[in-house]
Amino acid sequence: MIFEADDLQLFKQKAFQWANTFDTLCYLDSNNFTDPYGKFDTLIAVGAKAQVKANAGNAFDQLNHFKAQNPGFITGFFGYDLKNEVEVLSSGNYDGLTFPDLYFFAPEIVITIKDNTIEINGDVTAFDTIAAIKLCNYTTKPRVELKARFDKQEYISTVEQIKTHINRGDIYVTNFCHEFYAEGTSIDPQTVFTQLNSLSPTPFSSFFKWEGNYIMCASPERFLAKRGNKLISQPIKGTARRDSDKLVDQTIIEELRNHPKELQENVMIVDLVRNDLTLSAKRGTVKTEELFGIQTFKQVHQMVSTVVCELRDNVTAIDAIKNTFPMGSMTGAPKISAMRLMEKFERSKRGVYSGAIGYFTPDGDFDFNVVIRTLLYNSTNKYLSFQVGSAITYHADAAKEYEECLLKAKAILNVLGVDKL
């Protein structure tokens, strides 16, 4: 059933509130960012008529089977630790969340919004139900007592140790991540996400819930999309703060655009992504559509590049994802060496963080984000977690990298009522 909305933003707010009454929900919101590869402005999938949950081992095979059995929409996530299935790696760090490495569901109802058109597949009476909802006022912020796996000096010391591996040529660049967490804490995930999405609207925002577990994501980054026979990856490397003074803000953009360290880390990851895509691409079709593009968000400026290719006929959609997973922007180069080293230096299992959330469509397309700027919550054991990371290169200044991590966490800290760490 297809509808037109008189007030699209109001409908989206009501639809999210309605969707949260279901036990299983995937809400994906572009927040009206211009995206030449965007298939939908918003996608809401609710109710699981079938699901697959798996850990590294044969998770991609299980998903291939599940997708074949459910040829319509399916939505879900890939956890970072599927790296252990893709390569000979392991994960032994602390995991307070205990999320699976992979979870997908076939929804009972799918709502898609594009421009001003709303399409509902499933229960067509949902539109009238949503329209009749009286919106709740989400204003209360939780007060959370956060702890850190690294204090500032421990972080700086660890970065210096990582740089010794760079200096001797073990790796060129890596993404070093650390966790902030709260134990025995209670939050209202719907309120937290609503506030986060308002404070930090991004083109790949998402809210995911299943079995009392929650993902509240304000991601600016696309991992991988498929449109027809074209694959698109848009790695982000390079971050700068915003400023309320427009002239200063423009100066910051120009500094980011010309900063040697930011350019270096971006081009190294672009090369890695190009290499990953060759595993799925028709010969000679991998190309960089845009290098060092600057995108501006409410909290930060980011350097974004776009790499594309044509998908070979004998490569399935899921194999294309497996061939590029985990995404280069969250690993480093060489990829396997960087992942192995970060398992040594990091103190928490990444889990869904550094993974991807998204969808497969009935026509064979897909779109997945990079799970960053994200809160993860297990409501059963009341464990709340978010991780932040930054690229470490030969030129990295450890103290500045720590400040960059806090800049990336600014919106999350705000919605949690944390003034400073």
| Coil vs helix vs strand at 122 | coil
**Residue 286: CB atoms within 10 Å:** 19
| pLDDT tens digits for range 388-411 | 999 999 989 999 999 999 999 999
End-to-end CA distance of the chain: 49
User: Pick from 205, 257, 184: which is nearest to 42 by CA?
Assistant: 205
Backbone angles phi, psi at 388, to 5 degrees: -135, 155
Handedness of CA 179, 204, 237, 269 (dihedral sign): positive
Q: Which helix (H) or strand (E) holds 332?
A: strand 332-333
User: Pick from 181, 207, 171: which is nearest to 192 by CA?
Assistant: 207
CB neighbour list of residue 255: distance below 8 Å, 6 or more residues apart: 240
Residue type present at position 96: G
User: Pick from 80, 86, 78: which is nearest to 58 by CA?
Assistant: 86
Cα–Cα distance measured from residue 366 to residue 363, given in angstroms and rounded to the nearest whole number:
9
Q: What is the mean pLDDT of residues 183-190?
A: 96
| Per-residue tokens: 113 | 């919004």
CB neighbour list of residue 216: distance below 8 Å, 6 or more residues apart: 189, 192, 193, 196, 207, 374, 375, 376, 377
Residue type present at position 48: A
Range list of β-strands (E), 85-156: 102-114, 117-121, 147-148
| pLDDT tens digits for range 331-375 | 999 999 999 999 999 999 999 999 999 999 999 999 999 999 999
Give strand pairing partners of 102.
Answer: 54, 78
Residue 201: is its pLDDT beyond 90?
A: yes
Residue 419: is its pLDDT beyond 80?
A: no
DSSP letter (8 states) at residue 135: P
Cα–Cα distance measured from residue 336 to residue 270, given in angstroms and rounded to the nearest whole number:
16
| pLDDT tens digits for range 105-145 | 999 999 999 998 999 999 889 989 998 999 988 778 888 99
Looking at 39-53, 96-110, 120-134, 286-300, which range is the least confident one?
Answer: 120-134
Look at residue 3 in the predicted model and tell me its pLDDT: 81
User: Pick from 338, 378, 351, 377: which is nearest to 87 by CA?
Assistant: 338
Look at residue 416 in the predicted model and tell me its pLDDT: 95
Q: What is the mean pLDDT of residues 30-44?
A: 96
Only one residue has tokens 């210096």, namely 160
Look at residue 143 in the predicted model and tell me its pLDDT: 84
Specify the higher pLDDT residue, 319 or 139: 319
Is the entire prediction scored with pTM above 0.85?
Answer: yes
Cα–Cα distance measured from residue 266 to residue 254, given in angstroms and rounded to the nearest whole number:
16
CA atoms within 13 A on the CB side of 378: 16
DSSP letter (8 states) at residue 170: S
The pLDDT-based confidence of 156 (bands split at 50, 70, 90) is: very high
Percent of the chain with pLDDT over 70: 100
Q: Where are the alpha helices (DSSP H) in 168-204?
A: 189-199
Q: What is the mean pLDDT of residues 277-300?
A: 96
Look at residue 142 in the predicted model and tell me its pLDDT: 87
Look at residue 4 in the predicted model and tell me its pLDDT: 82
Look at residue 288 in the predicted model and tell me its pLDDT: 98
Question: Residues 55-85, buried b or exposed e (16+ Cβ, 10 A)?
Answer: bbeebbebbbebbeebeebbbbbbbbbbbbb
Q: Which helix (H) or strand (E) holds 29?
A: strand 25-29
Q: How many residues does the chain have?
A: 421
| pLDDT tens digits for range 213-262 | 999 999 999 999 999 999 999 999 999 999 999 999 999 999 999 999 89
